[in-house]
Amino acid sequence: MVDEPIDKDVYEAGIPLSFELPAGVAAEHVFRFSVKAISVAQKLRGNLTFFVDRENGVAQDKLDFIILMPAVSFLIPATITR
């Protein structure tokens, strides 16, 4: 198996979501992506940067995350009959 070179621009590209979220309101965003190889576990890294309006100005913070997806996550159960 030959690994394809990683395009740094694509690898480091972000998905900006510009919206305001009032207090007490929730929002959900769905991201769909494809996995080329299911023989090894996959790791999705990301971060969420957010801003909070405060009386004394705007505060910024960041939440880094990693989602581990074992290869078994991509298996589809099937019933085998004779």
Percent of the chain with pLDDT over 90: 12
CA–CA gap between residue 28 and residue 35 (Å, rounded): 22
Number of domains in the chain: 1
Domain range for 48 is: 8-74
Q: Which residues contact 15 (CB under 8 A, 6 or more apart)?
A: 31
> Has residue 79 been placed in a domain?
no
- Does residue 3 belong to any structural domain of this protein? no
Does 66 map to a domain?
A: yes
Give me the percent of the chain exceeding a pLDDT of 70: 80
**Which H or E element spans position 49?**
strand 42-54
Q: Given the structure tokens 């998905």, which residue do they identify?
A: 15
Residue 55 covered by a domain:
yes
Determine the pLDDT at residue 4. Answer: 53
Q: CA 43, CA 66: separation in Å to the nearest integer?
A: 7
Residue 81 lies in a domain: no
Structural domain contains residue 60: yes
Give the CA dihedral 16, 29, 51, 68, nearest 10 degrees.
-90
Domain-embedded: residue 24: yes
